[in-house]
Copies of this chain bind each other. A is one copy, B any other.
Amino acid sequence: MGTGTRRATIADVAREAGVSTSTASVVFSGKVNVADATRKKVVAAAAALGYTGPDPRAASLRTGRSGIVGVVLGGDLRHAFLDPVTTVMMDGLTDALASISTGILLLRDDPRDDEPPAIADAPVDAVVLIGCSTRAREVLEVVRQRGLPVVVIEGDAGDDVPQVTLDNREASATIARHVRELGHRRAATITLALDPVRERAPLTAEREAAATVSITLDRLAGFREAFPDGTGITAAGSLVDEGYLAARTLLAETDGTLRADRPTAIVAQSDLLAVGAIRAAEELGLRVPDDLTVVGFDGIAADGLGSLELTTMAQPALQKGRAAGEQVVRMLEGEPGESVHFACEFRAGETAAPPAH
């Protein structure tokens, strides 16, 4: 397959067509009017030489644009993909970016390796940071140095960076209060990870003090507004299995007998965690919501519940992604980016009820 011979360039095409390179270039970019006869000559020459269009590398060096937007995801890609919230956000993002971008470059922001962030040498026009952790700062620094527009979705960034945020604390407080008003006094929470290490363990003052993930801390603070001394467990990630394991620990001894001091309500920081908690409860013979109230957070279509509707706070994930994309577009057009704040909405389901006596 033509390995010997070098690829045709636009100069070759121009020569073959008997026009100048600029004319040939213009035929492909379509930005200037070209006489029909000329265009045909060029197209024919291109076809004859097997020229498929400008080399994107050269074009992007020249124009300064690659048409690529980098998305830096916290942690491994595998985690990111498993989380339906991220998935939906990406969806909104690609949507908003469709008009200006050829594609989305997925970059991992792995806290484990010590190389400079991959974003340092990726040919992107702009960057979106999603739920990044400790390394977010480092990434931001690199991005700023490179002078790239950047938008942060739910991460810690300075005030000078456009961000898409959620009322995590308020929303958590709302649903926790709802649980309290139902009459619950012994509530426990299952939180997302406190730090990039992602360890499943009981919540302690020390661990909390060392925490770095602000989503987790904000939601926890909201929970504490209603249950100042509620106990809790941090999950290793937003997974059904994690919710299951955490809830088992909260509800039962290791031998499977129910704990006497078990909570009457579990406030989970994600719907997936809540689904796992419900599954654990059912396995232990506790019915939801009669014997145990379980509420979630996110409002994704929770797949594991049969016909049971989860009581939760619904967050506008699609809109968050779209808003980030829109800001990127704005900034690429030279306007300043703006932060956008979203609020969650309480969604009554069937998994919360007054405690049994």
B121 near A54 (CB under 8 angstroms)? Answer: yes
B91 near A77 (CB under 8 angstroms)? Answer: yes
User: Would you call A118 an interface residue if the criterion is a C-beta within 8 Å of the partner chain's C-beta atoms?
Assistant: yes
Question: How many Å from the CB of A88 to the closest CB on chain B?
Answer: 8
User: Taking A70-B103, A106-B106 as contacts, is the C-beta distance between A121 and B59 under 8 angstroms?
Assistant: yes
User: Taking A56-B122, A57-B57, A240-B303 as contacts, is the C-beta distance between A77 and B105 under 8 angstroms?
Assistant: no
Q: Which of B88, B102, B146 contacts A122 (CB 8 A)?
A: B102
Cβ of A55: which chain B residues have Cβ within 8 Å of it? Answer: 61
B interface footprint on A301-338 (CB within 8 Å = 1, 0 otherwise): 00111110000000000000000000000000000000
A105 near B104 (CB under 8 angstroms)? Answer: yes
User: Would you call A67 an interface residue if the criterion is a C-beta within 8 Å of the partner chain's C-beta atoms?
Assistant: yes
B68 near A105 (CB under 8 angstroms)? Answer: yes
Q: Which of B70, B81, B303 contacts A304 (CB 8 A)?
A: B303
Which residue in chain B gives the minimum CB-CB distance to A282?
B306
Interface size on A, residues (CB 8 A): 56
Q: How many copies of this chain does the complex contain?
A: 2
Q: Which of B1, B52, B61, B108 contacts A120 (CB 8 A)?
A: B52
Cβ of A78: which chain B residues have Cβ within 8 Å of it? Answer: 87-88, 91, 94
C-alpha spacing A236/B68, complex, angstroms: 30
Which A residues, 233 to 248, have Cβ-Cβ distances below 8 Å to chain B?
240
A306 near B304 (CB under 8 angstroms)? Answer: yes
C-alpha spacing A121/B90, complex, angstroms: 22
Question: Closest 5 interchain pairs by CB?
Answer: A56-B123, A81-B87, A303-B304, A52-B145, A78-B91
Which residue in chain B gives the minimum CB-CB distance to A110?
B98
C-alpha spacing A53/B123, complex, angstroms: 12
B interface footprint on A141-184 (CB within 8 Å = 1, 0 otherwise): 01011110000000000000000000000000000000000000
List residues of A whose CB falls within 8 A of some B CB.
1-2, 7, 50, 52-61, 64, 66-68, 70, 76-78, 81-82, 87-88, 90-91, 94, 102-108, 118, 120-123, 142, 144-147, 240, 275, 279, 282-283, 303-307
Which residue in chain B gives the minimum CB-CB distance to A141?
B52
Cβ of A103: which chain B residues have Cβ within 8 Å of it? Answer: 70, 105-108, 118, 122
Cβ of A88: which chain B residues have Cβ within 8 Å of it? Answer: 78
Question: How many Å from the CB of A324 to the closest CB on chain B?
Answer: 15
Q: Which of B56, B94, B145 contacts A77 (CB 8 A)?
A: B94
List 28 interface pairs A-B (beta carbons < 8 Å), by A numbering.
Answer: A1-B144, A1-B147, A2-B147, A50-B145, A52-B120, A52-B142, A53-B120, A54-B121, A55-B61, A56-B121, A57-B60, A57-B66, A60-B123, A68-B122, A70-B103, A77-B90, A77-B94, A78-B88, A78-B91, A78-B94, A81-B87, A81-B91, A102-B107, A102-B118, A103-B105, A103-B106, A105-B106, A306-B306
Cβ of A120: which chain B residues have Cβ within 8 Å of it? Answer: 52-53
